[in-house]
Structure 1
Amino acid sequence: MVTSEVEGQQGPVRLKGAGFHGPLGEARAGRIVGRLAGRLGGGGVVLDIGCGWGELMLRLLEAAPSARGVGVDLHAGDLARGRENARARGLAGRVEFVEGDAREGDHGRGDVVLCLGASQALADDLVGALGALRERVAPGGRVLLGEGFWEREPTAAELAASWPGASAADHTDLATLVDTAVAAGFRVPWVETADRAEWDDFESGYLAAQEDWLAAHPTHALAAQTREHVDTHRSRWLRGYRGVLGIAYLTLAPVG
């Protein structure tokens, strides 16, 4: 994704059109905040692993005025967006955005731990990531895990059209995903999955700013690079994983 300046003109802003860093709609986000905010009374902590700009974390802090948040991510641009959003919403004093590897350092435990499409930030496999989440959630707390699963078995052609090196082994079905969480020491009080509209809104929002910029700057020095990125991503989505890859939002309660 292109953000550099050439000849005094800035390239398209990364992910400008996406409200959340994943296929999460407003209605679902509101329900999730409503379920989890009660865990944050008396100065609770939200720990957001692979937070991006931490939109759901900020909404939880708005719903729980005594809580504080810590978001960890490697992408400086997303973290800067999160800090600016926090300042604009009067939350800067209650949230810290940390640039770094979530596997390193002690970021404390969360009464609510968010890990939305970011289990790879904790381990190279889901079992390892679930073990790391068990260590990071406070007793009586909750984890919200956003994790991919196959809506149905992908065909060879769909895998070939998706991300580089895509394999059927990259994900399981939804039932196996839930079973894996239970085997890792969690109960699963809530299971929900992103619908087609949430996916389409996210993927379109992911590309919208770049598409608009390309329409207005077809001869810009960054246009060819941006066009290649946008067209490649759209093709992978529409020809590869649309309707095949799902995202589950699992609310996990640690046992014991």
Structure 2
Amino acid sequence: MTTTPPRHTRLTFHGPLSEARADRLIERLTRTTPTTVLDIGCGWAELMLRVLTTAPDATGTGIDIDAEALARGREAATARGLADRVRFVEGSATETVHDPADLVLCLGASQALGDRLPEALKELRRRVADGGRVLLGEGFWQRTPTPAELSGMWPDAAVTDHHDLATLVDLAIEAGFRPEWTETASLDEWEEFESAYLADVEVWLAEHPGHPLAAETRERADRHRARWLTYRGVLGLAYLTLVPTA
């Protein structure tokens, strides 16, 4: 019998990304035949591994501070016969030395490159080779949140935490990119992700109500659910395919 809450087994991607969108992204990102792929804040690097499968001459590097997620990525790479073409680095994205890559993935992880988005975008420009591509997954406000909504989101949430979509794209251009493609996660993708994020824990709580870890786990799950149901329809996620300017 399971004695501790499982984690993330229902998630394929660690973000609001459907299989259909992932397929379209990979098709677009591999048109330029990348040979080096860098995944910043990779988690278990599902999208990078799929890129490597589609681009058989490419090698990849995934960087994250989450040892558990990296272990899952290594297991997946081994299972798919990709272990000799990918390395996973546990550490800081700003301190890990690597050459500019043909393809850079940064999905929900720009904070790993700087506290302010303009700074992070400039760092992304330094990390992509001329003629390459960056896939940036970045939050934006679909509309300005009310003070009451902000109080129900993450700790110290503020309007200044995100920009609107137009400003986000403008900032990418100012940092040295042109937007090849702009798309945003759908509400269905958000609900699929957030439900899958909590599903294992919710089932575990229903089956283990008296477990010593149940109270703490229940509080954490309830807090997470309350937050995402508050930002549902307010916080968006843009997927920007960016081309570095010469």
TM bracket, shorter-chain basis: over 0.9
When normalised by structure 2's length, the TM-score is 0.98
Counterpart CA distance in 1 for 2:67 and 2:193 is 21
Specify the alignment match of 1:148 in structure 2. Answer: 139
Query: Displacement of 1:105 after TM fit?
Result: 2.5
Show the counterpart of 1:22: 15
What is the rounded CA distance, in whole Å, between the counterparts of 2:221 and 2:142 in structure 1? 25
What does residue range 40-189 of structure 1 map to in structure 2 within 5 Å?
Answer: 40-41=33-34, 44-189=35-180
AA at the equivalent of 2:14: H
- Separation in structure 2 between the aligned mates of residue 28 and residue 9 of structure 1, nearest angstrom: 34
Secondary structure of the 1:40 match is coil
SS at 1:141 equivalent? strand
Matched to 2:117, the amino acid is: L
1:100, distance to aligned residue in structure 2 (A): 0.3
SS, match of residue 13 in structure 2: coil
After TM superposition, give the deviation of residue 9 of structure 1 in Å. Answer: 5.2
**1:210-241 Cα distance to aligned partner (Å, 9 max, x none):** 11111111111111111011000001111x20
Amino acid across the alignment from 1:28: R
* Structure 1 counterpart of 2:236, from 231, 243, 246: 246
* SS across alignment from 1:87: helix
- Taking the aligned partners of 1:229 and 1:108, their CA distance within structure 2 comes to 40
Q: TM-score, normalised by structure 1?
A: 0.94
Aligned mates of 2:148, 2:176 — CA distance in 1: 37
Over 3 Å off, 4+ runs: none
For residue 119 of structure 1, report the CA deviation from its aligned partner: 0.2
- Partner of 1:97: helix, strand, or coil? strand
The residue identity in structure 1 corresponding to 2:25 is: I
Equivalent pairs counted in the alignment come to 246
Give the CA deviation at 1:14.
2.1
Q: CA deviation at 1:108?
A: 2.3
The runs of 5 or more residues in structure 1 that have no matched partner are 1-7
Q: Distance in 2 between matches of 1:249 and 1:9?
A: 37
Tell me if 1:206 matches 2:161.
no
Amino acid at match of 1:176: T
Cα deviation per residue 1:148-191 (whole Å; 9 max; x = unaligned)?
A: 00001111111011111000111111000000000111000100
C-alpha deviation, 1:10, in angstroms? 3.8
Maintained 8 Å contact 1:193/1:248: yes
Question: Gapped runs of 5+ residues in structure 2?
Answer: none
Name the CA distance, whole Å, in 1 between partners of 2:3 and 2:239.
36
Task: Quote the RMSD (CA, aligned, Å).
Answer: 1.1
Q: What percentage of aligned pairs have identical amino acids?
A: 62
One-letter code aligned to 1:33: I
Distance in 1 separating the partners of 2:66 and 2:198: 18
- Aligned AA for 2:16? P
* SS of match in other structure, 2:32: helix
SS of match in other structure, 1:38: coil
CA contact (8 A) 1:73 1:98 kept: yes
Aligned pair partner of 1:222 in 206, 213, 218: 213
Q: Structure 1 CA distance, aligned partners of 2:220 and 2:101? A: 36
Deviates more, 1:213-222 or 1:139-148: 213-222
